[in-house]
Amino acid sequence: MCSPQEFNMNTAGTRMVTRSWSRGPGVGPRGSGEEAAPLPRGKSAAEGRKSHHPVKRQRKAQRLKVAYEASGGEKGEGIKVPSWEPQDWQQQLANIRTMRSEKDAPVDQLGAEHCYDPSVPPKVRRYQVLLSLMLSSQTKDQVTAGAMQRLRARGLTVDDILKTDDSTLGTLIYPVGFWRSKVKYIKQTSAILQQKYGGDIPASVAELVALPGVGPKMAHLAMAVAWGTVSGIAVDTHVHRIANRLRWTRKVTKSPEQTRAALEDWLPRDLWHEVNGLLVGFGQQICLPVRPRCQTCLNQTLCPSAQGL
């Protein structure tokens, strides 16, 4: 399993986008192999939302600031004021923060983004982040963490993986979900990273999703964890399910990608990274896929789905 000191790059390292789209700590300019200076600590989103009612004005101000700051970024959008937002979402989010305050869900300690080796050079760390994300789809965090530990024990760089035969790689990552396909994708992606990116990973969502076996959720998490850039909301099955149960999407959405677009339409950008970790852990512990624990959920009276489950 991952050691506690390894858990720091993600939460401390991710910052909302700044004018220069700064890198997070533990990562350097692409291809430089150098550490970037840690970004100054800002006030957290949670700190900024203790009171619920001057919020309309607060949120407008935040949105303006973030939209301006993001003008040279991944999406390049201008100032955007949503035409719709879900009723009670701020109270529901505050309740989820309270329920998640112990940070004791599997994702908090074993999530794929926590399983890189902090002692290796930045570009190798970034590769390990991407690899752990590739392993994590359809796989429990504990299983991903175990596979990453076995891979790291042998050395986990692009070159190491390309030198490993498929059968050995399969043995090392088993029993992650779809391990046979993942062997193929990891090899193909590693070859591209070696040829095209000098063993590093690309620093844009478009280039990341072009890699075999890398989907939008992985790409947005890789941008946040490996590059310190919040490029979009990473929506997995938990985020997709809970967003629909809470009616955080204007209409019912059929896929995580639809959910991502629906959430990005109204959710303030400074919450995009936080909401992934909050909802994934909430989905692991309380808002379970089957038989959610509505009796113990602080959102029971605010949740449109509580009665029907």
x/- site string to ligand SF4, residues 155 to 174, per CB under 6 A? Answer: --------------------
Quick check: 297 binds ligand SF4 (CB under 6 A)?
yes
Residue 111 CA to residue 221 CA, distance in Å, equals 11
Residue 299 engages ligand SF4 in binding (rule: CB under 6 A): yes
The span of 27-35, 68-76, 184-192, 289-297 binding ligand SF4 (CB under 6 A) equals 289-297
Residue 305 binding ligand SF4, by CB under 6 A: yes
x/- map, 267-286, ligand SF4, by CB under 6 A? -------------------x
* HEC profile of the chain: CCCHHHHHHHHHHCECCCCCCCCCCCCCCCCCCCCCCCCCCCCCCCHHHCCCCCHHHHHHHHHHHHHHHHHHCCCCCCCCCCCCCCCCHHHHHHHHHHHCCCCCCHHHHHCHHHCCCCCCCHHHHHHHHHHHHHHHCCCCHHHHHHHHHHHHHHCCCHHHHHHCCHHHHHHHHCCCCCHHHHHHHHHHHHHHHHHHHCCCCCCCHHHHHCCCCCCHHHHHHHHHHHHCECCCCCCCHHHHHHHHHCCCCCCCCCCHHHHHHHHHCCCCHHHHHHHHHHHHHHHHHCCCCCCCCHHHCCCCCCCCCCCCC
Q: C-beta of 289: minimal distance to ligand SF4 in Å? A: 10
293 touches ligand SF4 by CB under 6 A: yes
Rounded distance between C-alpha atoms, residue 52 and residue 66, angstroms = 20
86 near ligand SF4, judged by CB under 6 A? no
Minimum CB distance to ligand SF4 smaller for 92 or for 189: 92
Tell me, yes or no, if 217 is annotated catalytic: yes
Q: Which amino acid is at 160?
A: D
Of the candidates 184, 217, 251, 254, the residue annotated as catalytic is: 217
Q: How far is the CB of 277 from ligand SF4 (least distance, A)?
A: 16
Rule CB under 6 A: is residue 303 a binding residue for ligand SF4?
yes
- Amino acid symbol at 229: T
Considering the rule CB under 6 A, would residue 300 count as an interface residue with ligand SF4?
yes
User: Radius of gyration (Cα) for the chain, nearest Å?
Assistant: 19
State in angstroms the smallest separation of the CB of 140 from ligand SF4: 20
Asked if 32 is part of the footprint of ligand SF4 (rule: CB under 6 A), the reply reads no
- Give the one residue of 207, 210, 287, 291 binding ligand SF4; rule: CB under 6 A: 287
Nearer to ligand SF4, 52 or 293 (CB): 293
Which lies closer to ligand SF4 via its Cβ, residue 148 or residue 303?
303
90 binds ligand SF4 (CB under 6 A): no
CA distance 82 to 125: 37
- Closest approach of ligand SF4 to the CB of residue 304, in Å: 8
Q: Which of 59, 125, 245, 260 binds ligand SF4 (CB under 6 A)?
A: 245
Query: Number of residues in contact with ligand SF4, rule: CB under 6 A?
Result: 14
Interacting residues toward ligand SF4 by CB under 6 A? 245-246, 286-287, 292-294, 297, 299-300, 303, 305-306, 309
- Active site positions, annotated: 217
